Amino acid sequence: MSVTVSPVRLLQVFFFMLLAWPFAFTASLGHSEFVIEPQSWWRRLIHQCLQVIMPAMWFCGGFHWIQVKGKHAALSDAPILIVTPHSSYFDAIAVTTTMCSAVIKLENRSIPVCGKSLITL
């Protein structure tokens, strides 16, 4: 199966990554890294599109059912930032499927295809 299924999955994952890139690029246009501003309606729309594309990418990659235990706390309940070391590439699955904010180094935006997606998420 690795000869037949693997290439198909890789092509699908690559397709969804390339599909997410224009959305992420458009969302980052005119966005300042230093000024905090409310999210406009069109950026929210792009964010919702990415909420569909990114889990679809992981689904095509073989991560079919990702269980999230517990519930997301409201900002008023838990106004904190938790920063943990990234120990594996599986951290990206949690960030992109839940569409939570991540703290990453600024140099990551120079990664060719997924750099814009990382900064926009």
Tell me: the pLDDT tens digits for 29-46?
Answer: 777 666 677 778 888 888
Tens-place pLDDT, residues 42-79: 888 888 888 888 888 888 888 877 666 777 777 677 76
Percentage of the chain lying above the pLDDT 90 cut: 3
DSSP characters over 28-96? HTT--SSS--PPPHHHHHHHHHHHHHHHHHHHHTT-------S-PPPTTT----------STTHHHHHH
- Claim: this prediction has a pTM higher than 0.75: no
Question: 18, 113 in Cβ contact below 8 A?
Answer: yes
Domain boundaries, the chain: 5-120
CA angle 90/39/34 to nearest 5° reads: 80
Contact 50, 97 (CB under 8 A): no
